[in-house]
Structure 1
Amino acid sequence: MKRHITCVICPVGCKISVRKKDEKYEVTGNKCPRGQEYALNELVMPKRILTTSVKVLNGELPLASAKITGPIDRALILEKMSLISRIAVEAPVKIGDVLIDDIDGEGTSLVATRPVGRIETSNQ
């Protein structure tokens, strides 16, 4: 089995070839060790960073942008998006606020990446 992958770890974009030979992987074309690690991870368990929006209650904006603090298994993305679509957070929201702690069971959190202020209501 031989696969070709373009590395996205840095702007160089190395064209990497991975060949499985006798239960071991042979990686060629990478200009740094990070490319080799990326290629092997893409074959064994590809991971992605999830960016999305979360509903905000009583906020100046209806949504706050958010992302997870580290990559998660690509196979979990749809499941986690379904979970995120069902939550709403109360304003105010600050950058870095943890919206969901340990979203993947491995310590990865969903955090706010945009502040959203609270709508001030007058008491009449």
Structure 2
Amino acid sequence: MKMELTCIGCPKGCRISAEVIDGEILSITGWECKIGEKYAREELTLPTRMVTSLVKVNGRELPLSVKTARPIDKSRVFDSLQEIAQVRMTPPVYIGDVIVPNVCSTGVDVIATKEIW
């Protein structure tokens, strides 16, 4: 099966073509740097994404920005967003505070990316 990807590893946005049969990568072409090749291999075998979101803050109009501490499996992104949406915080919150530990049993925490007092 031939697959087409657009690399998100750097600003070039290379169009990458890959041939995959029964989960085995036969070829990858079109990348202009090693980042593109690495991105394509990861995207074809175990795609991951950083998740960014907002959490409501009790007594405040403006929400708290949060993100996963590292990328999670792409298939868990929407479940993670639903879990994050249920959270309400009370100040103070500091950058790096764990807001949702082990989101969706991924082993990855959701952390604050700003401070609120």
TM over 0.5: yes
Q: Deviations over 1:34-79 (max 9, x none)?
A: 2112112222332211110112224x54420111111111211121
Offset of residue 21 of structure 1: 5.5
Offset of residue 99 of structure 1: 0.7
Structure-2-length-normalised TM-score: 0.84
Give SS of 1:114's match.
coil
Structure 2 contact 83–103 (Cα < 8 Å) conserved? no
Residues 75 and 24 (structure 1), Cα distance of their counterparts in 2 relative to 1, 3 Å cut: closer
**Which ranges in structure 1 are unaligned for 5 or more consecutive residues?**
118-124
Matches within 5 A, 1:1-124: 1-20=1-20, 23-58=24-59, 60-117=60-117
Superposition RMSD in Å: 2.0
For the pair shown, the structure with the greater C-alpha radius of gyration is: 1
Paired letter, 1:67: K
Structure 2 contact 55–88 (Cα < 8 Å) conserved? yes
In the alignment, the residues of structure 2 paired with residue 36 and residue 63 of structure 1 have an alpha-carbon distance, to the nearest angstrom, of 37
Aligned length: 116
Give SS of 1:65's match.
strand
Structure-1-length-normalised TM-score: 0.80
In the alignment, the residues of structure 2 paired with residue 49 and residue 62 of structure 1 have an alpha-carbon distance, to the nearest angstrom, of 22
In the alignment, the residues of structure 1 paired with residue 78 and residue 6 of structure 2 have an alpha-carbon distance, to the nearest angstrom, of 24
Give SS of 2:16's match.
strand
Structure 1 contact 66–111 (Cα < 8 Å) conserved? yes
Counting aligned pairs with the same residue, the percent is 35
